[in-house]
Each structure stands twice: as C-alpha cells, then as structure tokens.
C-alpha cells in the first residue's frame, strides 16, 4: 500500500565557491533524523531533504542497515557538500564513528541528545521544524512515496518521487546507490505541483556486479550445455524422399508473335522474334595441282647446206627431233654452199644457238637428237645437235579447285549458323525457349560472300569472308507450363490433387512459317507427398536403428529414406530430438520419353 503524502523537500543549489566546509565544531542541531535498523541510505537522504535545515543531527543505532559501509558514508558526505548542509552523527557504533571521521562528518555518542529507537514505526513523524514542512519517514519496503509541501513553504519546488523501475537512466546531480527516485516538480500557485524532468535510477555498483555475475554464469552454463550436446551427445541425419505421382498430359500449342497474352482455350502463347547477324572468315589449303615451266632448254645446232648456193637462215628457223620436240634458232646465220672436193661433195656448215619452243624438261634432249629442219628450208638444210640440250626445268604449282570453294562455303556456313544460334540463345533470356526458323522461311540468309581466289587460279590457300543472318522465335517457359497446367487440370486424374511441378518430356515441331510455330508437347505433372520434419523426428527419436528405419518405412508418403549417425557405431537414434537433422530430398524428375 502507498504511504501518505509528506511535505515537499527543499533542494538548495550552491555554487562551488559557496559550498561550506564541514568542521569538527558543529553548531547545535536544528533538526533530528532518526535512522531505523531497516532503513536504507536512500531513506536517510530523503529524510535529510525533508528537514531542510542547515544543521541536522542523525541518530544511527547499532547494526543499522544504512551507513554501515564506506560508500554510504562517502555518499552522505557528498550530499551534504552539494546541499550546503552540516550534520552530526550520533551513534554508539565504533565502526561507524571511524567511517564518519574518515569522511569528515563529526560524531557524538548516542546518549548525547535524543536517543534513537530502533523499534520506532516506519511512518512516524518528526518534530515540527521552524520554516519547514512536516516530514515523514518511509519504510524501505514501501514501493513508492510522494513528499509534497504547500507553495508558501518556499522550498524550491522539489518533491520526493517514486522508487525507480529497472533500466531508468541516472540523474547527473544525484548519485543514489539504490532505492527511491527523485523528480523535480514545478510548483503551481493554488494547485498541485506539475512534474517535469526525467526519473533516474542509480543502482549500487555492488548490485550491478551481482547482476553481471549472475548473467555471465547463466551464459556460461548455457554455452557449456550446448558444447556438451554438440561434441558429446550423439547426432543423426535422416534423409527422406517423398513419394511422387506423375500425371501425363499432351497438348498442341501455337506460338504466335502477334499474340498479346496466353489464350488457354485456343492453346496460344505469345512470342518474340529474335534476329542475329554474324560474320567470320575461314581459310583452307587448295587441292588443285599443275606443273608449270620454270626454264627452257638451250643448245647448239649445226645447219648444213646441200645446195651449190649460199643460204641465209633467218632467226627463228625451226628444227625438231624425231619425236616432234621443236627448237628455234636464236639468230640469223649464213650457210656456205656445198663444195666438191675431189669426187666427193662437202656441204657447207654453220653453227647457231637454238632454244626449245616449250619450256620445261621436254627440251632437254640428248646429242644428235635433232634431225630435221622445218619450214621453207626443209630438204635443202640439215640440222644436228652435236651436244645435248640442257637447262629446261619445271615446278609444281597449287591451283584453286572447284571442290575447294564448295567445301569452304559449306564449312563456314555451318560454323556461322552455330554462332548465330548461340547468339539467339543469349538474346532469349532465362526461362525461355527458342525455335530457329527453317530455311523455307528464309533463314540463314547470306548477306555477303567473298573468296580470295577464283577457280583454277594459282593459290596455295583459299579464304572466304562471309556474313549471314539467322532468325528464331522465343517464348516463355512459364506460358507453356500455364497451358499445360490448365490442360492437366481438366483431366479427371488431377481434379483432387495439387500439382507441384510440370516436366516437359517431349516437344515435336509440327510447322513453322515466318515465326509462327506449332508444337506438339508431351509433359507430366508431378504430385509430391507432404512430409512433416517434426513427424519424421518424432518417429525415430530414442529408438534403435532398426526400429527407427522400420518406422520411417511405414510412414505415409515416404518413397525412400536413409540415416547416418555420429558416432557411426551408435545403436540408437539420439534421445534429444534437436540432435536429429531431417532433410527432405526433391524427387528425381520424370524421365523424358
């Protein structure tokens, strides 16, 4: 129950230079505060505030709860300095007397002046104090108490406030170890005081340390238990595969770039036309071969004149061998006539340089191979080569064959087609399908084609630079699955179940014309049984390995199961359920047909 109101407490402010110094010689006390054995230091401070006097006599019995610690005495001395008050402690406790003397507070024997009564009631009133309100003591067990005074008391508008709740901030001016909380109020003439400011709580350092020790001990116990459970207690992992049912469905789908949205009734889904232009260059060695002349054969020819007249053989006079290899003279030559020496005629001779008409090794003939002269001098001139003709040479050259061009064109077109399809796939985006147009729709359109050499031209390598354009139709897989789900929902087998996934098992292209594609699609709808992890854990917790696995086998909706243990030679599943990890595996996709 709440105590009765008590007078308002005055709180005097003093500047640091105006704070009085406690002296051993203390004037006679104007007010007396009696401390009970169960009082706290906060109750003593509240009573001192209620006196409002400059000199106070504090009567402390032996074994009193307040002022029995050095920090209490230091706190009291600090309070007296801040408030500009003087006090004398009357006690028969030798320890308190020493503490007070160390804190600069005068003391006197308890028998000097009014005696303290340890059995006095907690709520008794103090004597009337001149110029101050009547004060009332509050027992420590009282939760809260408000001390008020009339406005004419002139006590600065302070009042005692309630006991603080845990966690409230402390005041900057008053460092109370524990107990009540003080709040400043603004007095209002003719009415009740108006409270302002903030409540504060100042638990003792010892109390805070005690709380910290208890909290730290609790955290250590919890961490130790978790570490023991993790490293000492056995654990298990259970992997369960739910049973899956597959429902077949077939559907003819029209993929139309002009469609705006999915039409489940007509089986139409929208699409996009994609285009890719690629360019590349490819080279290959030529396979055509031919032997070309590198040099011509040359040698000396002797022309013989069988007439009695001198003859002049012009340049280019043609001579030949018996097998038809022809040579021509390189210069004009005068051939003397035939002379009779005795009874025997001697023909006139002239030597001239000749070269083979055709280059290569065919002009390399042996000595005496040339046997006749052709043209106007045939029959009047004879020709013979005294030495072999040499110097004729040939070499093999590469030529561009027709098949080289055809093979290069086919290879490069296939490569560009693959590159174009890959580019279309990159353009289509994720979760989309692609249908490449057929050649009948103008697909694989060659935009440019250029060979480095023509057919039968001399070239060791042939290159081709070509660019082409490829088109395709792209549609979203979600749109196709929506049509399949709608078709599956119309089947009797799927009316009472919820389909989890749809797998497309086969797709056949029925037609394609300028981007409009018609597909025949076969798919299956997967219905997966629902398995609760908690139910799986409950079935195996604390059981032997055989009993736990048998319980899993009897569990509805379970198609396959497996368990692993740590340590491996454990005979039972863990008795602590949180040491059993349950994993639900996704069933394998339906096989494509």
Is 50 exceeded by the pLDDT of residue 94?
yes
Q: Above 80 in pLDDT, residue 295?
A: yes
Which residue has tokens 């065919």?
Answer: 362
Same domain, 171 and 58: yes
Task: Judge if 369 and 409 occupy the same domain.
Answer: no
For residue 139, name the pLDDT band (cuts at 50, 70, 90): very low
pLDDT digits (tens, 9 = 90+) for 200-219: 333 455 667 788 888 999 99
- Summarize the confidence of residues 483-508 as an average pLDDT: 82
Looking at the structure, tell me whether residues 90 and 76 fall in a common domain. yes
Confidence of residue 415 (pLDDT cuts 50, 70, 90): very high
375 lies in the same domain as 430: no
Task: With a cut of 90, say whether residue 385 has pLDDT above it.
Answer: yes
Residues 443 and 360 in one domain: no
Q: Is residue 299 pLDDT above 90, yes or no?
A: yes
CA separation for the pair 252, 519 (Å, rounded):
6
The dihedrals phi and psi of 517, each to the nearest 5 degrees, come to -115, 140
Instruction: Identify the pLDDT of residue 111.
Output: 60
Which whole number is the average pLDDT over 427-442?
A: 84
Q: State the pLDDT at residue 512.
A: 87
415 or 28, higher pLDDT: 415
Q: Is the predicted pLDDT of residue 27 greater than 70, yes or no?
A: no
The per-residue pLDDT for 196 is 37
Phi and psi for 277 in degrees, rounded to 5?
Answer: -115, 125
DSSP 171: P
Closest by CA to 279, choosing from 100, 96, 417, 127, is: 417
Q: Are residues 189 and 124 in the same domain?
A: yes
pLDDT at 478 over 50: yes
In this predicted structure, the answer to whether residue 285 has a pLDDT above a threshold of 90 is: yes
Task: Specify if 57 maps to a domain.
Answer: yes
Contact 548, 573 (CB under 8 A): yes
Task: Measure the CA–CA gap between 392 and 146, rounded to whole angstroms.
Answer: 136
Quick check: 290 and 299 in contact, CB under 8 A? no
- The neighbouring-strand residues paired with 383 are 303
- For the segment 353-374, the average pLDDT, to the nearest whole number, is 93
Q: What is the CATH number of the domain that holds 382?
A: 2.40.30
Above pLDDT 90, what percent of the chain? 32
Last residue of a domain, one of 377, 393, 409: 393
Instruction: Evaluate if residue 549 carries a pLDDT over 70.
Output: yes
Are residue 374 and residue 282 in the same domain, yes or no?
no
Helix (H, G, I), strand (E, B) or coil at 239: strand
Its sign, for the CA torsion 45, 51, 56, 60, is: negative
Q: Which residue, of 155, 180, 201, is where some domain finishes?
A: 201
Question: Do 310 and 428 belong to one domain?
Answer: no
Report the pLDDT averaged over residues 123-151: 36
> Of all helices (H) and strands (E), which one includes residue 305?
strand 298-305
Q: Which domain holds residue 412?
A: 272-287+400-472
Which is it for strands 272-285 and 461-476: parallel, antiparallel or unpaired?
Answer: antiparallel
pLDDT in tens, 568-577: 888 889 888 8
pLDDT score for 223: 85
For residues 540-562, average pLDDT = 90
What is residue 394's DSSP assignment? E
Q: What value does the mean pLDDT of the chain take?
A: 78
pLDDT of residue 527: 85
- Mean pLDDT confidence for 340-369: 91
148 falls in which pLDDT band (50, 70, 90)?
very low
**CA 273 → CA 471, 478, 483, 512, distances in Å?**
7, 18, 21, 13
Domains: count for the chain: 3
Name the more confident of 329 and 161: 329
Note whether residue 557 is domain-resident. Answer: no
* Angle, helix 70-83 to helix 94-102, in steps of 10 degrees: 50
Give the mean model confidence (pLDDT) for residues 512-525.
89
pLDDT number for residue 406: 93
Out of 186, 201, 216, pick the residue that ends a domain: 201
Q: pLDDT by residue (tens digit) across 102-114?
A: 888 898 887 644 3
* Same domain as 135, residue 83: yes
Whether residue 218 is contained in a domain is answered as no
Please give the structure tokens belonging to residue 21: 């110094």
Residue 105 lies in a domain: yes
Residues 22 and 80 in one domain: yes
Helix axes 545-553, 533-540, angle to 10 degrees: 140
Q: What letter would DSSP give residue 575?
A: S
Let me know if residue 436 belongs to a domain.
yes
The pLDDT value given to residue 205: 59
Residue 324 has pLDDT above 80, yes or no: yes
Q: Is the pLDDT of residue 335 over 90?
A: yes
Nearest to 511 by CA among 291, 133, 258, 256: 256
pLDDT given at position 230: 61
The pLDDT score that the predictor gives to residue 206 is 61
Lowest mean pLDDT among 126-130, 474-478, 560-564: 126-130
Kind plus residue range of the DSSP H or E element containing 545: helix 545-553
Say if 443 falls within a structural domain.
Answer: yes
Distance CA 80, CA 78 (A): 5
Specify if 514 maps to a domain.
no
- Predicted confidence at residue 391, as pLDDT, reads 93
User: Quick check: 143 and 163 in contact, CB under 8 A?
Assistant: yes
Q: Measuring CA to CA, which residue among 85, 10, 79, 21 is closest to residue 54?
A: 85
Q: Which residue has the higher pLDDT, 386 or 42?
A: 386
Same domain? For 367 and 424 the reply is no
pLDDT digits (tens, 9 = 90+) for 224-272: 877 766 666 788 999 999 988 888 889 999 999 999 999 988 999 999 9
Residue 347 shares a structural domain with residue 382: yes
Q: Would residue 432 count as lying in a domain?
A: yes
């Amino acid at each position: 129950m709440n105590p009765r109101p008590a007078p308002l407490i005055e709180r005097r402010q003093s500047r640091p230079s105006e704070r009085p110094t406690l002296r051993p010689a203390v004037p006679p006390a104007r007010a007396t505060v009696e401390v009970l054995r169960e009082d706290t230091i906060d109750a003593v401070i509240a009573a001192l505030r209620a006196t409002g006097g400059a000199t106070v006599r504090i009567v402390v019995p032996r074994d009193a709860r307040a002022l029995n610690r050095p920090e209490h005495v230091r706190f009291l001395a600090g309070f007296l300095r801040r408030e500009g008050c003087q006090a004398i402690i009357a006690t028969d406790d030798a320890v308190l007397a020493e503490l007070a003397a160390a804190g600069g507070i005068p003391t006197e024997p308890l028998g000097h002046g009014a005696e303290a009564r340890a059995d006095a009631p907690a709520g008794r009133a103090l004597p009337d104090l001149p110029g101050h309100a009547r004060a009332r003591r509050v027992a420590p067990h009282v939760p809260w108490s408000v001390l008020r005074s009339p406005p004419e008391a002139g006590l600065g508008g302070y009042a005692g406030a309630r006991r603080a709740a845990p966690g409230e901030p402390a005041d900057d001016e008053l460092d109370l170890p524990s107990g009540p909380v003080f709040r400043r109020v603004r007095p209002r003439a003719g009415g009740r005081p108006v409270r302002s400011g903030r409540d504060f709580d100042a638990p003792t350092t010892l109390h805070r340390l005690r709380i910290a020790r208890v909290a730290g001990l609790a955290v250590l116990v919890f961490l130790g238990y978790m570490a023991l459970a993790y490293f000492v207690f056995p654990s298990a992992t259970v992997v369960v595969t739910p049973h899956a049912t597959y429902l077949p469905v077939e559907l003819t789908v029209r993929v139309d770039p002009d469609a705006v949205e999915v039409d489940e009734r007509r089986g139409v889904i929208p699409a996009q036309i994609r285009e890719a232009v690629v360019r590349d260059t490819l080279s290959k060695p030529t396979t055509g071969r031919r032997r070309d002349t590198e040099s011509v054969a040359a040698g000396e020819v002797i022309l013989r004149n069988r007439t009695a007249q001198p003859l002049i053989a012009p340049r280019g006079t043609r001579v030949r061998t018996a097998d038809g290899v022809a040579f021509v003279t390189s210069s004009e030559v005068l051939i003397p006539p035939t002379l009779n020496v005795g009874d025997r005629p001697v023909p006139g001779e002239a030597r001239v340089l000749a070269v083979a008409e055709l280059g290569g090794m065919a002009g390399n003939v042996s000595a005496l191979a040339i046997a006749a002269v052709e043209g106007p001098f045939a029959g009047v001139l004879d020709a013979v080569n005294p030495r072999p003709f040499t110097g004729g040479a040939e070499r093999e050259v590469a030529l561009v064959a027709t098949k080289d061009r055809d093979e290069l064109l086919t290879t490069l077109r296939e490569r560009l087609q693959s590159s174009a399809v890959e580019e279309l796939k990159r353009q289509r985006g994720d979760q989309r399908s692609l249908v490449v147009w057929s050649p009948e729709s103008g697909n694989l359109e060659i935009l440019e084609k250029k060979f480095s050499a023509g057919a039968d031209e001399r070239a060791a390598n042939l290159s081709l630079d070509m660019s082409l354009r490829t088109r395709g139709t792209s549609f979203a897989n979600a749109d196709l699955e929506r049509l399949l789900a709608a078709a599956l929902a119309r089947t009797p087998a799927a009316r009472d179940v919820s389909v989890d996934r749809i797998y497309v098992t086969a797709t056949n292209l029925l037609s394609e014309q300028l981007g409009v594609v018609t597909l025949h699609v076969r798919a299956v709808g997967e219905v997966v049984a629902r398995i609760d992890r908690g139910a799986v854990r409950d079935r195996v917790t604390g059981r032997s390995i055989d009993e736990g696995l048998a319980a899993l086998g009897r569990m509805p909706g379970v198609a396959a199961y497996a368990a692993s243990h740590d340590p491996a030679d454990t005979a039972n599943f863990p008795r602590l359920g949180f040491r059993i990890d349950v994993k639900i595996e996704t069933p394998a996709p339906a096989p494509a047909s």
